[in-house]
Amino acid sequence: MSGLNAIFSPRSVALVGASTQPGKVGHDIFANILRGGYTGILYPINPKSKSILSVRTYPSMKDIDDEVDLAIFVVSPEVTLKSMEEAIKKKIKGAVIVSAGFKEVGGRGAEIEKEIVAMARKAGIRIIGPNCLGIINPSPAISLNASFSARMPSPGNISFISQSGALCTSVLDFAAEKKIGFSKFVSIGNKADIDELDLLQYLHEDEETEVIMAYVEELKRGPEFIEAVKKITGGKKPTPVLVIKSGRTSAGAKAAASHTGALAGSEEVYNAIFEQSGIIAVDSIDELFDYASAFAYKNESSCGKFMRKVPEKNRMAIVTNAGGPGIIATDMTISTGLELATFDEATVAELAKHLPATANLHNPVDVIGDASPDRYENALRAVINDKNVDGSMVILTPQSMTNVLAIAEGIVKIAKQTHKPIICSFMGVVDVSRGVQYLQDNGIPVYRFPEKAAKALSALFRYSTYISRAKVIPFDLKYDQNTAGNIIRGCLEKGINYLGEIEGLDVLKCYGFNVLPTQLATSPEQAAEIAEKNGYPVVMKIVSKQIIHKSDAGGVILRLENAEDVKKAYNKIVQNAKKFNESAVIDGVLVQKMATPGEEVILGMNRYKTFGPLIMFGVGGVFVEIFKDVSFGLAPLNREDAQKMIRKIKGYKLFQGFRGMPVADIETLERSIVSLSDLALNHPEISEMDINPLLVHEKGKGATVADCRIILSQDEK
């Protein structure tokens, strides 16, 4: 029995710190396990009392003459430490430490936490907690409620992982009302040993879990998290993972030397992690529940095997007994990326057979306020059987003649005959309650408001698109990693940690970027010489450590066509730079052959502790600065990730032959993003960088780096 199995499905549980005093955690958890109908054996450990709630206690773990799979600790950190030693001797397989006072308070508590984890790892024991609410396994075969909460949820196919213990009690309360059943329910507290990823992997393998919901405050693993979760959300037996992430606004983007650094905050990192790993991020607790019941929605006709109902395409049919809510549903359907299906003529004819003359036979189908159950059933059958329909939403408003229950029965009947999702909005509370109950009992997602039903359908559709997406053939790229490493080390040895057009471009060249001939001139004459050698037109740019934004300082002059202009430009640039910053030390002026024109894009990277390099892409200039029209991805990025990043920004239109401009070389852009990701991974000394602009030329003609800045750091960020 593995550690996580021992935690969720133990044959026997020892509760260390079981107490006779109601209101104490050690008593309440004991009572909850006992009264929750746990199917294994429960051993209360308490050296002072003889029994608790009629059950004989044991002074210590060693007094139990039986195997113990799971030990639950509700004693002080010091006592937990000592008891863990005993537990190890007793050969327990899993542990849940409910008690607080560990890492979250620092000092000795933090030390004890480390010691316990070290001991447990050595002994092969897995730990949930400390500082958590406990775990619940409502499956009838186990029926274990090892938590604070007296409320045992009903069994179901949704698992819930929460970093907040307090949220758990609320979630159980909401779930009871919404008739949401759980497979596993776990409060992970300090995550000293088992974290979200361990649980996601365990639950993905768990036969009883079909949907995973999680409340996350922070993750402790970066790229490996993405790689592992990809296999969960998009592998052979995909499990949808719904996450609400809090703390979005608390840590804003920090001041940084690069555009990328300034735009990429922790929110962007998390968004990238979720997107790349196929996690469905939700905005509110409300939405978490709304989506969970839609994702738990299964095909009844599939002989016992779980088959999720997802729409293959985005064409939805709406059946409603009220015009207004039908329009509201249409609005939300379209604004969430779905479409209203156009029915076959045969469908319209079939609808005409069953509906009154005043009904609307087209989408949204209005069966009229006085609709009988038959009318709903016939209309729903007609539209769901239409090959142009991928799913349906049924809206009901309770009119005085509405037989809500019979309508629900008709919907369930049709739903059992189709693999297409049917989602309901029964608009009301008391008046619709019997119908809602019937739908819930039969696993049909039902919402109070049509807006929510439409959003849930849209989430299902996006998920269906994700799991059936085509694979992209990756690039086969070769780099000169050694030379790049030598350049970087060389700079660091010289104490240089800012690489501009000279060394920066050299590094990029090693990673297959096309860069412009660029040389530093320290006199007007030398500038003219360089220009004559490399060819016109040239652009000239100030080089000074004190001047980062060259244009702001009047330090850039474009389109110089002859030697005389080059000389003049040299003097002008130096003069401007001195005016801009009197104390600036001027290293010289770069003379760079001007690139053939192209769409100016910016590529950048900002390195995060734990998560590694976050790559940014956007269209240059005002696009980045005013609209923040950029996309992010966490390295390693493959071609598919790069494609998504490129397509995500609004400026993507510019690459597609916008207003007579040529179509851009998007393949080179994709390759550049992948190369930048590899560059960042191969050279951890780079802490931030911008390629700005990268000029993307016409399709087939590549791209050219016109400027870049690379910031090195010897310390990890």
Report the site for a copy of itself in 389-408 (rule: CB under 8 A). Answer: 397-401
Output 585 or 661, the one with its CB closest to a copy of itself.
661
Query: In angstroms, rounded to a whole number, what is the distance separating the alpha carbons of residues 169 and 645?
Result: 39
Cis before residue 636, ω within 30 degrees of 0? yes
Output 303 or 622, the one with its CB closest to a copy of itself.
622
For 686, the enclosing helix (H) or strand (E) is strand 686-696
Are the C-beta atoms of 322 and 369 separated by less than 8 Å?
yes
Query: SS3 for 461?
Result: helix
Q: What angle do CA 161, 163, 164 make, to 5 degrees?
A: 110
> Binding segment for a copy of itself among 8-16, 247-255, 487-495, 638-646 (CB under 8 A)?
247-255
680 alpha carbon, distance to own chain's centre? 22
In the region spanning residues 202 to 231, those forming contacts with a copy of itself, defined by CB under 8 A, are 215, 217
Q: Which of 35, 121, 248, 559 binds a copy of itself (CB under 8 A)?
A: 248
CB of 514 to a copy of itself, least distance (A): 25
> Binding segment for a copy of itself among 63-71, 221-229, 438-446, 651-659 (CB under 8 A)?
651-659
Pairing of strands 556-560, 498-499: unpaired
> Binding segment for a copy of itself among 45-53, 403-411, 447-455, 705-713 (CB under 8 A)?
447-455
Query: In angstroms, rounded to a whole number, what is the distance separating the alpha carbons of residues 450 and 318?
Result: 10
Output 457 or 686, the one with its CB closest to a copy of itself.
457
Q: Which of 173, 224, 480, 564 binds a copy of itself (CB under 8 A)?
A: 173
CB of 28 to a copy of itself, least distance (A): 6
CB of 212 to a copy of itself, least distance (A): 18
Query: In angstroms, rounded to a whole number, what is the distance separating the alpha carbons of residues 163 and 165?
Result: 6
Output 284 or 714, the one with its CB closest to a copy of itself.
284
Per-residue binding letters, 298-337, with a copy of itself (x by CB under 8 A): -----------------------xxxxx-xx-xxx-xx--
Q: Does 559 bind a copy of itself (CB under 8 A)?
A: no
Cis before residue 22, ω within 30 degrees of 0? no
What is the 3 state secondary structure string of 634-676? ECCCCHHHHHHHHHHCHHHHHHECHHHCCEECHHHHHHHHHHH
Q: Does 265 bind a copy of itself (CB under 8 A)?
A: no
Q: Does 631 bind a copy of itself (CB under 8 A)?
A: no
Residue type, 423: I
CB of 329 to a copy of itself, least distance (A): 9
CB of 626 to a copy of itself, least distance (A): 5
Query: In angstroms, rounded to a whole number, what is the distance separating the alpha carbons of residues 234 and 540?
Result: 50
CB of 336 to a copy of itself, least distance (A): 10
Output 303 or 430, the one with its CB closest to a copy of itself.
430
In the region spanning residues 500 to 529, those forming contacts with a copy of itself, defined by CB under 8 A, are none
In the region spanning residues 346 to 375, those forming contacts with a copy of itself, defined by CB under 8 A, are 358, 369
In the region spanning residues 563 to 622, those forming contacts with a copy of itself, defined by CB under 8 A, are 622
Q: Which of 448, 509, 644, 699 binds a copy of itself (CB under 8 A)?
A: 448
Are the C-beta atoms of 6 and 120 separated by less than 8 Å?
no
To the nearest 5 percent, what fractions of the chain are helix, strand and coil?
A: 40, 20, 40
Cis before residue 364, ω within 30 degrees of 0? yes
For 452, the enclosing helix (H) or strand (E) is helix 450-467
Q: Does 149 bind a copy of itself (CB under 8 A)?
A: yes
403, with CB counted inside 10 A (0-12, 13-18, 19+), is middle
In the region spanning residues 101 to 120, those forming contacts with a copy of itself, defined by CB under 8 A, are 105
Q: Does 268 bind a copy of itself (CB under 8 A)?
A: no
Q: Does 660 bind a copy of itself (CB under 8 A)?
A: yes
Hey, what are 402's tokens? 């509405």
Output 443 or 651, the one with its CB closest to a copy of itself.
651
Output 40 or 369, the one with its CB closest to a copy of itself.
369
Per-residue binding letters, 449-468, with a copy of itself (x by CB under 8 A): xxxx----------------
CB of 693 to a copy of itself, least distance (A): 15
Query: In angstroms, rounded to a whole number, what is the distance separating the alpha carbons of residues 369 and 662?
Result: 55
Q: Does 18 bind a copy of itself (CB under 8 A)?
A: no
Output 290 or 350, the one with its CB closest to a copy of itself.
290
Query: In angstroms, rounded to a whole number, what is the distance separating the alpha carbons of residues 163 and 195?
Result: 9
Hey, what are 215's tokens? 């409340």
CB of 331 to a copy of itself, least distance (A): 5
Q: What angle do CA 163, 251, 280 make, to 5 degrees?
A: 50
CB of 652 to a copy of itself, least distance (A): 9
Nearest of 348, 349, 374, 378 to residue 363 by alpha carbon: 348
DSSP β-bridge partners for residue 94:
70, 126
DSSP β-bridge partners for residue 41:
12
Q: Which of 79, 81, 167, 257 binds a copy of itself (CB under 8 A)?
A: 167
Q: Does 170 bind a copy of itself (CB under 8 A)?
A: yes
Q: Does 176 bind a copy of itself (CB under 8 A)?
A: yes
Pairing of strands 391-396, 498-499: unpaired
CB of 623 to a copy of itself, least distance (A): 8
Output 278 or 325, the one with its CB closest to a copy of itself.
325
Q: Which of 54, 284, 583, 714 binds a copy of itself (CB under 8 A)?
A: 284
Q: Which of 6, 28, 408, 577 binds a copy of itself (CB under 8 A)?
A: 28
Nearest of 98, 70, 74 to residue 1 by alpha carbon: 70
Per-residue binding letters, 406-425, with a copy of itself (x by CB under 8 A): --------------------
Output 105 or 307, the one with its CB closest to a copy of itself.
105
Output 105 or 349, the one with its CB closest to a copy of itself.
105
Count of residues that bind a copy of itself according to CB under 8 A: 77
Output 78 or 224, the one with its CB closest to a copy of itself.
78
CB of 85 to a copy of itself, least distance (A): 27
Output 74 or 637, the one with its CB closest to a copy of itself.
74
Distances (CA, A) of 7 to 120, 129, 169, 704: 14, 12, 20, 56
Hey, what are 632's tokens? 């992010």
Q: CA torsion sign, 626 to 629 to 634 to 638?
A: negative
CB of 438 to a copy of itself, least distance (A): 17
Query: In angstroms, rounded to a whole number, what is the distance separating the alpha carbons of residues 535 and 245?
Result: 54
Output 376 or 511, the one with its CB closest to a copy of itself.
376
Output 335 or 562, the one with its CB closest to a copy of itself.
335
Q: Which of 54, 122, 177, 482 binds a copy of itself (CB under 8 A)?
A: 177
Q: Which of 80, 83, 145, 163 binds a copy of itself (CB under 8 A)?
A: 163
Q: Which of 89, 545, 579, 650 binds a copy of itself (CB under 8 A)?
A: 650
Q: What angle do CA 689, 692, 696 make, to 5 degrees?
A: 125
Own/partner long-range contacts of 262-271 (Cβ < 8 Å, ≥24 apart): 263/604, 263/616, 263/624, 263/628, 263/630, 264/604, 264/606, 264/614, 264/616, 264/632, 266/608, 268/614, 268/632, 269/608, 269/611, 269/614, 269/632, 269/634, 270/219, 270/245, 271/632
